Amino acid sequence: MKSKKIPGSFIALGIILFVFIIFLFVVFMPLIQKYPTYEAKHTEAVAQIAEYENVLANQKTVEEKVAELQEQYDTKQKDLFVDADTSVEELQSIFQKLGISMTNLTRSESKQDSLGRVSSIGVPLYSVVLTFSYDNDMATTQNLLHYLEQDAKGCYYINTINMAPKEGVSGYSTSLNVTLYYFDTTAPAPTQASTQAATTKK
């Protein structure tokens, strides 16, 4: 009896079917079973990304608000307080208000308080010496001294006043030397050790 040979195409089809069944049970079915877990993780990841984007957006808004508040603070600082950088500007404004013609104005380098004194919130105390001259009468000088002591934005201490009568005309050639004291918010506060050392030295 003559045996029949199985065609190669049937063998190949059987192999493909066998591989497909293995793939179905080994890969596809576990993937289907784990799909809800993968979907939940994907949803969680999307939610986290959205949250991060919101945080970044809020951070940008906060940074813009901080910059705006800093600008407002700097403006108010300039309007309300005087330091070494704005001292000349204030003196010129005072002289203009009082109708005084300044003939000379010099400013020293600012320096930190030798005793290391600070404000109640730890801002270090600084000072700068200003010397200015003008020609006018006694009443004008009195008005200027009153303004510096009572109405000026800066905290001035009057060191010396020199008044010399002008020859041939009424009035005086007047020279004032004053010290402006201010708290420098941009400078680092002195350490306790440096403050104690300065106090001991004094």
Domain at 84-201, CATH homologous superfamily: Ribosomal protein S6/Translation elongation factor EF1B (3.30.70.60)
| Coil, strand or helix at 159 | strand
Kindly state the tokens that stand for 124. Answer: 């270090």
pTM: 0.58
Kindly state the tokens that stand for 129. Answer: 């010496």
Residues 125-148, mean pLDDT to the nearest whole number: 95
* 154-191 pLDDT, tens digit each: 999 999 999 999 888 888 999 999 999 999 888 775 55
Q: Does the structure show a pLDDT above 60 at 3?
A: no
More confident residue, 149 or 193: 149
* 22-44 pLDDT, tens digit each: 776 666 677 777 777 777 777 88
At 149, which amino acid appears?
E
